[in-house]
Structure 1
């Protein structure tokens, strides 16, 4: 193959290497949050001063919403949707590694000296399979919906900062309410009464989407723009 034949491929490599720094950083964060959301989801936490409960994965999941919306705002809906799809990769690898670790025999030292720790680890992670199974379904539907709503509300213009905040709040509230229904039903139905958890989850995500997400998206956009300018300097 001649040097001329290599030019298109080299151009692709150069284009990949020239990825904006902000996009690169958010891609790394996104992959980490997909895994962490599944791990945290096994614990339900109470939201004082109410009796409403939420699964703790909500906090990592809201960051996924912020990152995907920020990417859609700066780099386009197609790029954001690709990141959502590729977010399955670290989630899948983490799930496979968890199964590998659960099936490997524990060390003699742990069996003899830390049997309680081993039992707790296996009790939690061996029963978390429904969480890992429910996560991808809720994840894909809600985050693709978030990117779509956020982008459609934008229209053809850049919009103001206030408009960015409103779009972020609306897209997040709608997509996260749907996410809660899908995830909690698939992950916990039949294990315990889920009505209180589902209600708390929907209310919490809608409230946080209105109160917190708009400011996080605004900050996320500014951070990505700053990173991009730093890389270009």
Structure 2
């Protein structure tokens, strides 16, 4: 890891292109920051219980996986930098949504698609609160995830695949529990009883963090290493 992170930093200082793995994961990261806000408006039932979860968690867990992968291969500083730059697509999405809501709808839409405009405005008119709540939870939880992930490696035992999976699971579970409390409270408090959603959100994120995230991080690290090694890609293509 240290060799990869050092090589990445040296390349950046010499003005060389960033590693392909870092480039690809950064692109995906930007898309997930915006998509998480849109998906969050739907609360999905956690069958067979009556607990609920906001659907943005699926995109947000990918943000956790990507930042952990970047921290593992390219260093904690690079991962933190990606988190801070993630505010840019968030800000652009809020600005564009505000503009689109302010623009008048076409007569064809109003006449040909009854109810579509009202549905769009009902959902996205409240989008500002969900998205405005997101950056607070986003910043706190992802920086916390990177910090825990990096500190656990500094404590030893982080070099093996099992160590990587364990660090990813612990860091994700703790940071996502914090994220759930912040996001659900800021986004939905006062609109309905958030108890079921909050409990479901914490359970879902912690469970997915322990069950799914370790394998996704392992896959992410291997995928980034493959992307960063032209010889491996050429061999696979051949």
**Same fold (TM > 0.5):** yes
Instruction: Say whether the 8 Å CA contact 1:20–1:231 is kept in structure 2.
Output: no
State how many pairs are aligned.
223
Cα deviation for residue 128 of structure 1 reads: 2.0
Distance 2:228 2:93 in 1: 30
Deviation at 1:108, TM superposition (A): 1.4
Distance 2:12 2:71 in 1: 23
Query: Which residue is 2:212 aligned to?
Result: 212
The question of 1:78 aligning with 2:87 is answered no
* Aligned pairs for 1:135-150 within 5 A: 135-150=134-149
Equivalent pair of 1:164/1:218 in contact (CA under 8 Å):
yes
Q: Which aligned runs of 4 or more in structure 1 are off by greater than 6 angstroms?
A: 11-14
| Residues 11 and 17 in structure 2, CA contact (< 8 A), matched pair in contact too | no
Partner of 1:153: 152
Distance 2:37 2:229 in 1: 34
Checking the alignment, whether the CA contact within 8 Å between 2:12 and 2:18 is kept in structure 1 is no
Long gaps (5+) in structure 1: 1-10
Secondary structure in 1 matching 2:115: helix
**Structure 2 residues without counterparts, runs of 5 or longer:** 1-9
Aligned with 1:159: secondary structure?
Answer: coil
- How far is 1:223 from its partner? 0.2
Confirm whether residue 228 of structure 1 aligns to residue 228 of structure 2: yes
Aligned position for 1:102:
101
Distance in 2 (CA, whole Å) between partners of 1:14 and 1:177 is: 37
Q: Which residue of 1 aligns with 2:6?
A: none
Shift of 1:13: 8.0
TM-score after normalising by structure 1: 0.91
Shift, 1:115, TM fit: 3.2
CA-atom RMSD in angstroms: 1.8
Q: Could you tell me the TM-score, scaled by structure 2's length?
A: 0.90
After superposition, the C-alpha distances for 1:117-169 in whole angstroms (9 at most, x for unaligned) are: 11111110002221011000000000000001001100176511000000000
1:60-87 deviations in Å (ceiling 9; x for gaps): 0000000000000000000000000000
Aligned to 2:29: 30
Q: Paired residue for 1:53?
A: 52
